[in-house]
Amino acid sequence: MEAMSTTDIISAAGVTLILAAFFLSTFKFISASSRIYFVLNFMGGALACWGSMLIPSLPFTILEGVWALVAAVGFAKTISQPQQS
């Protein structure tokens, strides 16, 4: 079995964070409007974007970059709101 490359590790970490946010939200452990949801999505999207830039894969770079950007905007909107779990 081949060892994972640095690109694989970065991309896998990003995808894991995005999937963790989805899982936690789907099973009501966190709210889809909570700060932690947006942080997980932002960090995951940013890492996956970085990983796709290293491949390089323009469509996935755009997808993950927009994912991270939308999550960052969602997080910014929660700053002025009371914290939800």
In a domain, 83, yes or no: no
Flag whether pLDDT at 8 surpasses 60: yes
Q: Work out the average pLDDT over 37-48.
A: 98
Give CA 72 to chain center in angstroms: 10
Which range marks the domain in which residue 21 is found? 10-78
Residues 6 or more apart whose CB falls under 8 angstroms from that of 85 comprise 30, 31, 34
Confidence band, pLDDT 50/70/90 cuts, at residue 38:
very high
In a domain, 3, yes or no: no
User: Quick one: tokens of 26?
Assistant: 């789907």
Percent of the chain scoring above 70 in pLDDT: 95
* DSSP structural state of residue 30: S
Q: Work out the average pLDDT over 20-31.
A: 98
pLDDT at position 68: 98
Domain count, the chain: 1
CA dihedral 41, 67, 48, 38 (to 10 degrees): -10
| Segment (H or E) for 15 | helix 6-26
In a domain, 48, yes or no: yes
